[in-house]
A and B are shown apart, each in its own frame.
Chain A
Amino acid sequence: MSDSTPQPYVSIERVTKRFGDFTAVDDITLTIDRGELFALLGGSGCGKTTLLRMLAGFEQPTSGRIMIDGEDMSGVPPYERPVNMMFQSYALFPHMTVEQNIGYGLKHEPMTAAERRARVAEMLDLVQLVGYGGRKPHQLSGGQRQRVALARALAKQPKILLLDEPLGALDKKLREATQFELMNIQHKLGITFIVVTHDQEEAMILASRIAVMDRGKIRQTGTPTNVYEFPCSRFVADFIGSINQFEGSVEDIEHDLAVVDAPECGGRIVVQTVDGVARGAQVAVAVRPEKIQIERTRPATSVNAFRGKVLDLGYFGKDSLYRVQLDSGAILRVNRVNDRRAGESERVAWEDEVWLSFEPQAAILLTE
C-alpha cells in the first residue's frame, strides 16, 4: 500500500488451467497497471476467455495465482471479487427492466435506496439511455442492450471491468461509434478495462496494451504500434494484419544491417538487424504490404528491389491491394494508396511489369 513501491494492479503469476487433458492456459505471467485498457487478443481456443473467466472467478487456476490490487484471489468466489464482467451475450435479465438490471448489483452495496436510484440514473446518463429505464431488454435494439450491459457492469464501480468480445454482436457502423464511446467512458471513469477479443482491429483501436495469445500462451505483449511494427515472432507478425514473409539465412552483418539470403525472394534482402542475430542464423524477413513501393520503372536504389508482374488487383477505392509475382515465383501482397485517378499513366494496372522495393528499416527480422 506504500506509494514508494508501485506494484502492478493486476498480476497473473504463472497461471495454468487444465480441463482434463487439455491445457487452456499454459503458465501465463502478466501484469496490468491501474487504469489501463488492456486487450487479450487471439483466435478461438487460444485461452483468452478462460483467462478472463479466471479473473472473474468462474474458473479457478489449476496452478499459479491471480492478485488484484494486492489481494490474492485464490478461492475467492465471483460474488466477492472487486471485478465485474460484461458478457459477450450481454446476459441481461429478461424479466427485469433496464433500471432493475443496472441496479441489480447495487442491492449488495451499503447504500440507501435514494443513493441507489441516483447511481442508476447516473449510469443511464453515462450510456445515454435516459428515458429507457422502464423498458425490458427485449424492447431494446442490440446497441442499446450492449450499453445496458456496460452500465450494469459499471454500476458497482468495480476495480476492473472485464469485457468479453464487447463489440462482437454489433454491426460495423455501430462498432465504430461504440469503440470510441467505450474509450471515452474508460477515460472518464479511470477503471481498468480488460478486453477479450479475436478481432485485431478492435484490439488495436481500443487498447493501450495488447497481449497476443496462442494455444494457451502469450506470444507478445506491447502497445498496438509495438505489436504491429515490431512483432517478435513469425506467429505474431502473421496474426496481426497481413504481411509478406520470407525464410532465409543471415549471410553478413554490418553495423545495424543484416544481409539475408532469401532464395524464395530470388535474392538478398538487406534488413535492420535485431539483438542476438549471428551470421548463418535461420531467420524470416517480414514486410508489411503498405511498406512496399510499387513502380513501373526501376527504382534508383538497387537494395531490396525486385522485379515482378501484377497477378491480381483488388480495388478498395482509396487504396488497392496488388498481388505481385516475383521472377522467383513468390507472390507478394502490396498495398498502395490510390493517389492518382484511374487511367493516369503512372498508375499500376493488371498484368503490368513492375518493380517492388522497400527500405531496410521497413522490413522486420524474425528469429522466432
Chain B
Amino acid sequence: MAGIAASDSVPAARMSEEAPVGRGFRQWLDRKAWRDTIIATPFLWLLLFFLLPFLIIFAISLGEATMAQPPVQFAAEWPYGSLDNYRLIASDSLYIGGYFNSLIYATISTVFCLLIGYPMALAIARSRGSTRNLLLLLVILPFWTSFLLRVYAWMGLLSNNSWFNQGLTWIYNHSLNFGPPLNAIPMMNTDFAVILGITYSYLPFMVLPLYATLERLDLTLNEAAMDLGSRPLEVFKDITLPLSIPGIIAGSMLVFIPATGELVIPSLMGRADSPMIGRVINDEFSLNRDWPVASAIAVALLLMLVVPIMIYNHYQSRADVT
C-alpha cells in the first residue's frame, strides 16, 4: 500500500514543480473554459455580426438623409433621432406595396415549394440505401452551380426568343389556338417568372428538413393504422402528415424568410412595376442614397419576420416536449 501511495505522489509533485504557471491555466481551461468557450462562440458570432450591425442599422433608421459621407445626420439635441422614417414607410404606397408584394410572392412560392417538396422528401425518405443517397445528391446538386448562373439560365429559357419559349409557343399555337397566334409566350418579367425562380431556387431548403423529419418516422405506425382499417391515403392523412408538421414548419420558414427579402430573382426576372421589398431597400440605399429610409424598411421587415420565427419556436419547443 505504501509503495502505491509513494509512486502516486511523485508525478504530481514533479508537475507542480515544472509548470507552476501553465498548470493553473490548463486546469481552468479543462474545468470550465472549454465548455463555456464552445457555448459562447455562436453567441459571440451573433453579437458581432448580427446584433451590432442591426443596432447600427436601427440607429441609422432614426436619422435623416444628408449630402455627406456617410449620408446620415442626427438631430443636435435629445432625443437625437425620430421615427419620421417609419411614419413615411407606413404611409407611402410604394413601401407598403413592396412589403405586400414580398409577402405574396414569398407565400405563393412557399406553398409551391411545399407541394413539390413534400412528395419529393417522402419519396426519398421511403427509398432504400443507394437510391436514397443518389436522390439526396440530386437535391443538393444545384448548389454546386452559382445561384446567379442558375437564375440567368432560367432567364435564357423564359425569354421570348429561346427554343424553350418558341417550342411552347408552337405547341400553344397548334393545339389551343383561341385567338390570334402568338409570336412568343410572355413569361419573362412576370409574376410567374418570379414565383418560378423563387420556387426553383429554394426547393432544396424545403426538401431537406422535410426529409429529415419524414426519415425518422416509425413505419410501424403506418402498419398499425393500416391494421386498424385505414387505407393508404388515410394513413398518410392521420399519421404521416401530422407527425411531419415540425418538418413542414421548418421547411416553410427556411423558404419563406429568405424569399421575402429576395433581391436578385425579382430584379432580374420580375416586373418593374411591382418590386419586392428587397429591391426597394436596394434602390433607396444605392440609387436614392437615403440610408435612413432604407434602414427603417429593413428594420420593419425584420420585425415582420421575427413574428413567424417566434411562432415556429413556440411549436418547436412544444414538439420537443412530446
Contacts and interface: CB of A to CB of B under 8 A. Distances in A.
A26 to B, nearest CB: 24
B229 interface: yes
B175 to A, nearest CB: 41
Contacts of A87: 220, 223-224
A84 B227 contact: yes
A56 B222 CA distance: 13
B226 A79 contact: yes
A89 B225 CA distance: 14
A79 B231 contact: yes
A104 B228 contact: yes
Identify whether the interface residues of B are mostly helix, strand, loop, or mixed. helix
Contacts of B231: 79
Interface of A: 56-58, 77-80, 83-85, 87, 89, 91-95, 104-105, 107-109, 136, 138, 152-153, 156
A152 B228 CA distance: 8
Nearest to B226: A78
Given A93-B239, A95-B242, A85 B227 contact: yes
Contacts of A105: 228-229
Contacts of B242: 95
A152 B230 CA distance: 14
Interface residues of B, number: 17
Contact of B228 (A57, A58, A84, A89): A84
Nearest to A53: B223
Contacts of A58: 223, 226-227
A138 B322 CA distance: 7
Nearest to A109: B229
A79 B230 contact: yes
A105 B223 CA distance: 12
B300 interface: no
Contacts of B30: none
B220 A89 contact: yes
A93 B225 contact: yes
A78 B223 contact: yes
24 contacts: A56-B227, A58-B223, A58-B227, A79-B228, A80-B229, A83-B227, A84-B227, A84-B228, A85-B227, A87-B220, A87-B223, A89-B220, A91-B220, A91-B223, A91-B224, A93-B221, A93-B224, A93-B225, A95-B322, A104-B230, A104-B238, A105-B228, A105-B229, A108-B230
A94 B227 contact: no
A136 B227 contact: no
Nearest to B319: A95
A352 to B, nearest CB: 41
B218 interface: yes
Most A Cβ at <10 Å: residue of B226, B228, B230 = B228
A108 B227 contact: no
A91 B228 contact: no
Interface string B147-169: 00000000000000000000000
B72 interface: no
Nearest to A162: B227
Interface string B225-247: 11111110000001100110000
